[in-house]
A and B are shown apart, each in its own frame.
Chain A
Amino acid sequence: AQKVTQAQTEISVVEKEDVTLDCVYETRDTTYYLFWYKQPPSGELVFLIRRNSFDEQNEISGRYSWNFQKSTSSFNFTITASQVVDSAVYFCALSGFNTGGFKTIFGAGTRLFVKA
Chain B
Amino acid sequence: GAGVSQTPSNKVTEKGKYVELRCDPISGHTALYWYRQSLGQGPEFLIYFQGTGAADDSGLPNDRFFAVRPEGSVSTLKIQRTERGDSAVYLCASSRGLAENTGELFFGEGSRLTVL
Contact = CB atoms under 8 A, between A and B. Distances in A.
A70 to B, nearest CB: 17
Contacts of B48: 101, 103
A77 to B, nearest CB: 15
B42 A102 contact: no
B42 A47 contact: no
Contact of B110 (A43, A47, A108): A43
Contacts of B8: none
Contact of B102 (A52, A100, A103): A52
Interface in B40-66: 41-45, 48, 50, 55-56
Contacts of B70: none
Contact of B104 (A35, A44, A91): A35
Interface residues of B, number: 27
A91 B35 CA distance: 14
Interface string A21-50: 000000000000101010000011111001
Interface of B: 31, 33, 35, 41-45, 48, 50, 55-56, 89, 91, 93, 95, 98, 101-110
24 contacts: A43-B89, A43-B109, A44-B108, A44-B110, A45-B43, A45-B105, A45-B107, A47-B106, A50-B103, A50-B104, A52-B102, A91-B43, A100-B50, A100-B98, A101-B48, A102-B31, A102-B101, A104-B45, A104-B103, A105-B45, A106-B42, A106-B43, A108-B41, A109-B41
Given A35-B103, A108-B41, A109-B42, 19 more contacts: A4-B42, A33-B103, A35-B104, A37-B105, A43-B89, A45-B91, A45-B93, A45-B105, A45-B107, A100-B50, A100-B56, A101-B31, A101-B50, A101-B101, A104-B33, A104-B103, A104-B105, A106-B44, A107-B42
